[in-house]
Chain A
């Protein structure tokens, strides 16, 4: 099973700051890494697929990068509405797995 480890677990950020969340895979997954945003009491929402591919309707301040074992989700100029928990997910091999989540709080 591929283990995904996100860092940090929690981040408190001021609006307009840049946020960087990393996801490290226990073995290479090429670019089979996707990012989700989950706001309180809501379902997860797909933000980025295949490490860096944008999703229609997602604000351009969200971007992703990486391949192999190391991946990054970047939120440029954080807005209050971005307060949420962010998860990475790998689709390289079964069982499909998620990172433990990174909670982003707005100061």
Chain B
């Protein structure tokens, strides 16, 4: 059973860079699925950040595209997210998810990131 585990700093300074990783124990990042990042500000709804295929193809939300990079480290079997020039508006729970048949069928537990001024 594929599991996803997000990790990274819980606190990032304003104007800095948010960096998170998503490990895939029990599965392989090399499979044919897309791997996705979604975030959820406190008390608010879900926002799609972007996705990556293991081959390197990526799609990003235009609202974040200039600041986001999603990458895959095949040797570590993990997915990464980098978000630059963060502000308080980037404070959220960040989830990684596996896209299976176009739906997000497996989710990580999420990791809370707070942007401090």
Contact = CB atoms under 8 A, between A and B. Distances in A.
A65 B105 CA distance: 19
Interface of A is mostly: loop
Nearest to A36: B104
Size bracket, chain A contacts? 20 to 34
Size bracket, chain B contacts? 20 to 34
B104 A89 contact: yes
B105 A46 contact: yes
Contact of A98 (B47, B102, B108, B109): B47
Interface string A15-49: 00000000000000000101010000001111001
A-B pairs, top 6 by smallest CB distance, nearest first, are A43-B107, A91-B102, A34-B103, A49-B103, A96-B48, A98-B46
Given A1-B62, A43-B107, 18 more contacts: A32-B102, A34-B102, A34-B103, A43-B95, A44-B95, A45-B107, A46-B103, A49-B101, A49-B105, A50-B101, A55-B105, A89-B103, A94-B59, A95-B48, A95-B60, A95-B61, A96-B36, A96-B61
